[in-house]
Chains A and B, each alone.
Chain A
Amino acid sequence: MEILRCEHLTKTYGTGETAVTALDDVSFSVEKGEFVSVIGPSGSGKSTLLHILGGVDKPTSGKVFVDGTDMHALKEDKLAVFRRRQIGLVYQFYNLMPVLNVDENIALPHLLDGRALDRERLDQIVAHLGLSDRRENLPHQLSGGQQQRVSIGRALYSHPAILLCDEPTGNLDRKTGEEIVNLLKESNRSQKQTLILITHDEALAMQADRMIYLEDGRLVKNEVIRGNV
Chain B
Amino acid sequence: MNNQNIIFQVTRRYMKRNRRRTAITFLGILLMVMLMTCVFVGKDTVVDYLQDVAALHTGSWHLIAHGLDTENVSQVAAVEEIDQIGYSVRLGLTDFPASANDERPYLEVKAYSPVSFELLNIHVTQGRLPTNGQEIVITETALQDGSSVSIGDVIDAKFFDRSITGINDSLSESVFPFYDLTVGYGETVRVPLDFPYYPENGDFRQNKEYNGTGGRYTVVGIIASPYFESEGSAGYPALTVLSDVSEAAGTFSAVMTFHLDKIESVNEVSQQIKEITQDETESNNTVLAFSANGSDSVVSGLTVFIETFFVVLIMAASLILIYNVFQMSYRERTKYLGMLSSVGATGRQKRCSVYYEAGYLLLLSLPLGILLGIGVIQGGMLLLKPHLDKMIDSFQVGLYDDLPVTLSVRLSNLLLVVGMSVVTVMLSALLPARKISKIGPVESIRGSEGRGGKRFRTRFGLLRKGKAEALLAVNSTSRCPHLTRGIVRSVAAFGVLSVVTLYGAQSVIRLINARLETQEFVYNFKGYDYVLYGDRCFEDLYDEAKKRVENDSAVTDTKEITDFFGNSQMKSSGFSDEYWKGYEEILRRYVPSDEDAVQQTMTEARDYPVFLHTFCLGDEDFKKLAAAGHADMSIVGDANTPSVLLYSKVEMTTQNLIFSGEKPDYHLVEVQNAFRCEIGEKFPLVLYRPNDETGESEMVDVPLTVAGFLDEAALAPYFTVHSEHPTVIINQAAADTIMRLYDGVSREYFLYDKILLFGLREEEGNALLRELSLLGEQNKGHIAVRGFDMLNMGGFEDAIVSIIRILAYCFTALISAVCLLNLYHSVKGRAMERQREIAMLRSMGMTERQLHKMLAVENILLLVKGWCIGVVLSGGFILLLNRVMVSRFGNITLPVPYGLIGGITAAVCAAMVGMTWVCYRFSDKESIVEDIRKETV
Whether A57 pairs with B845 at a CB distance below 8 angstroms is no
The answer to whether A173 has its CB under 8 Å from any CB of chain B is no
Contact of A136 (CB < 8 Å), options: B451, B455, B849, B928: B455
Whether B845 pairs with A81 at a CB distance below 8 angstroms is yes
Contact with B along A94-136 (1 / 0, CB 8 A): 0111111101100111111111110100000000000000011
Chain A residue with Cβ nearest B473: A99
Whether A116 pairs with B466 at a CB distance below 8 angstroms is yes
B847 proximity list for chain A (CB < 8 A): 76-77, 80-81
The answer to whether B342 has its CB under 8 Å from any CB of chain A is no
B409 proximity list for chain A (CB < 8 A): none
Whether A83 pairs with B843 at a CB distance below 8 angstroms is yes
The answer to whether A60 has its CB under 8 Å from any CB of chain B is no
Which of B456-464, B618-626, B736-744 binds A? B456-464
Which of B13-21, B474-482, B882-890 binds A? B474-482
Chain A residue with Cβ nearest B466: A116
Whether A136 pairs with B475 at a CB distance below 8 angstroms is no
Separation in Å of the B455 CB from the closest CB of chain A? 4
The answer to whether A45 has its CB under 8 Å from any CB of chain B is no
Separation in Å of the A108 CB from the closest CB of chain B? 6
Which of A23-31, A137-145, A175-183, A209-217 binds B? A137-145
The answer to whether B453 has its CB under 8 Å from any CB of chain A is yes
Separation in Å of the A13 CB from the closest CB of chain B? 10
Contact of B463 (CB < 8 Å), options: A83, A117, A137: A117
Count CB-based A-B contacts (< 8 Å).
Answer: 119
The answer to whether B156 has its CB under 8 Å from any CB of chain A is no
Separation in Å of the B496 CB from the closest CB of chain A? 28
Whether B463 pairs with A104 at a CB distance below 8 angstroms is yes
A173 CA to B534 CA, complexed, in Å: 101
Chain B residue with Cβ nearest A96: B840
Most chain A CB atoms below 10 A, which of B457, B464, B467, B844: B844
Q: A104-B459, A135-B458 are in contact. Are A95 and B932 (CB under 8 A)?
A: yes
A85 CA to B845 CA, complexed, in Å: 8
Separation in Å of the B862 CB from the closest CB of chain A? 14
Chain A residue with Cβ nearest B842: A80
Whether B472 pairs with A99 at a CB distance below 8 angstroms is yes
Whether B463 pairs with A113 at a CB distance below 8 angstroms is no
The answer to whether A89 has its CB under 8 Å from any CB of chain B is yes
A193 CA to B454 CA, complexed, in Å: 35
B446 proximity list for chain A (CB < 8 A): 140
Query: Which B792-850 residues sit within 8 Å CB-CB of chain A?
Result: 836-837, 840-850
B840 proximity list for chain A (CB < 8 A): 95-97
Bin the interface of chain B by size: 35 or more
Separation in Å of the B829 CB from the closest CB of chain A? 16
Chain B residue with Cβ nearest A109: B844
Whether A140 pairs with B448 at a CB distance below 8 angstroms is yes
The answer to whether B376 has its CB under 8 Å from any CB of chain A is no
Whether A113 pairs with B845 at a CB distance below 8 angstroms is yes
The answer to whether B597 has its CB under 8 Å from any CB of chain A is no
A113 proximity list for chain B (CB < 8 A): 466, 845
The answer to whether B398 has its CB under 8 Å from any CB of chain A is no
The answer to whether A149 has its CB under 8 Å from any CB of chain B is no
Q: A97-B837, A104-B475, A115-B466 are in contact. Are A89 and B448 (CB under 8 A)?
A: no
Whether B458 pairs with A84 at a CB distance below 8 angstroms is no
A115 proximity list for chain B (CB < 8 A): 466
Chain B residue with Cβ nearest A50: B929
A137 proximity list for chain B (CB < 8 A): 455-456
Contact of B464 (CB < 8 Å), options: A91, A99, A117: A117
- Given A54-B843, A100-B475, A136-B458, 20 more A-B residue pairs with CB atoms under 8 Å apart are A51-B929, A56-B843, A77-B848, A82-B845, A84-B845, A95-B932, A98-B480, A99-B472, A104-B475, A107-B463, A108-B468, A111-B463, A111-B467, A111-B471, A115-B466, A116-B465, A117-B463, A136-B456, A138-B451, A140-B446
Can you list 6 A-B pairs, Cβ within 8 angstroms, ordered by A?
A: A80-B847, A83-B844, A99-B476, A136-B455, A137-B456, A141-B454
The 5 closest A-B pairs by CB, nearest first: A84-B845, A111-B468, A136-B455, A117-B463, A140-B448
